[in-house]
Amino acid sequence: MNLAGQSGDAGSGHLLFANFNQDNTSLAVGSKSGYKFFSLSSVDKLEQIYECTDTEDVCIVERLFSSSLVAIVSLKAPRKLKVCHFKKGTEICNYSYSNTILAVKLNRQRLIVCLEESLYIHNIRDMKVLHTIRETPPNPAGLCALSINNDNCYLAYPGSATIGEVQVFDTINLRAANMIPAHDSPLAALAFDASGTKLATASEKGTVIRVFSIPEGQKLFEFRRGVKRCVSICSLAFSMDGMFLSASSNTETVHIFKLETVKEKPQEEPTTWTGYFGKVLMASTSYLPSQVTEMFNQGRAFATVRLPFCGHKNICALATIQKIPRLLVGAADGYLYMYNLDPQEGGECTLMKQHKLDGSMEPANEILESASHDRPLVAQTYSAAVTKGTYVPSSPTRHGKEKAGNGAGSTSACCFLLDGCVSWSTSAPSFPILMNWVLWVELAWKMKPTPLDWTKTVSIPP
| Candidate from 5-9, 10-14, 63-67, 92-96 with smallest mean pLDDT | 5-9
What pLDDT score was predicted for residue 119?
99
The mean pLDDT value for 14-22 works out to 94
Question: pLDDT, tens digit, for every residue of 411-448?
Answer: 333 333 333 333 333 334 444 455 555 555 555 555 55
Considering the entire predicted model, what is its pTM?
0.74
Average pLDDT, the chain: 80
- What would you report as the CA-atom Rg of the chain, rounded to the nearest whole angstrom? 24
Percent of the chain's residues with pLDDT above 70: 66
Question: pLDDT, tens digit, for every residue of 270-280?
Answer: 667 666 666 66
pLDDT at 322 over 70: yes
pLDDT at 216 over 50: yes
The answer to whether the beta carbons of residues 326 and 339 sit under 8 Å apart is yes
CA 293 to chain centre: 24
The mean pLDDT value for 85-89 works out to 94
The mean pLDDT value for 21-30 works out to 97
pLDDT at 392 over 90: no
pLDDT at 462 over 90: no
The mean pLDDT value for 245-249 works out to 97
pLDDT at 363 over 60: no
SS3 per residue for the chain? CECHHHCCCCCCCCEEEEEECCCCCEEEEEECCEEEEEECCCCCCCEEEEEECCCCCEEEEEECCCCCEEEEEECCEEEEEEEEECCCCEEEEEEECCCCCCEEEECCCEEEEECCCEEEEEECCCCCEEEEEECCCCCCCCCCEECCCCCCCEEEEECCCCCEEEEEEECCCCEEEEEEEEECCCEEEEEECCCCCEEEEEECCCCEEEEEECCCCCEEEEEECCCCCCCCEEEEEECCCCCEEEEEECCCEEEEEECCCCCCCCCCCCCCHHHHHHHHHHHHHHHCCHHHHHHHHCECCCEEEECCCCCCCEEEEEEEECCEEEEEEEECCCEEEEEECCCCCCEECEEEEEEECCCCECCHHHHHHHCCCCCCCCCCCHHHHHHHCCCCCCCCEEECCCCCCCCCCCCCEEEEEECCEEEEECCCCCHHHHHHHHHHHHHHHHCCCCCCCHHHHCCCCC
What pLDDT score was predicted for residue 300?
82
Write the CA distances from 240 to 23, 52, 253, 296, 312, integer angstroms: 7, 29, 22, 29, 26
**Where on the phi/psi map is residue 135: left (φ > 0), alpha (ψ -120 to 50), or beta?**
left
What pLDDT score was predicted for residue 244?
98
CA distance 25 to 57: 24
Question: pLDDT, tens digit, for every residue of 117-171?
Answer: 999 999 999 999 999 999 999 999 999 999 999 999 999 999 999 999 999 999 9
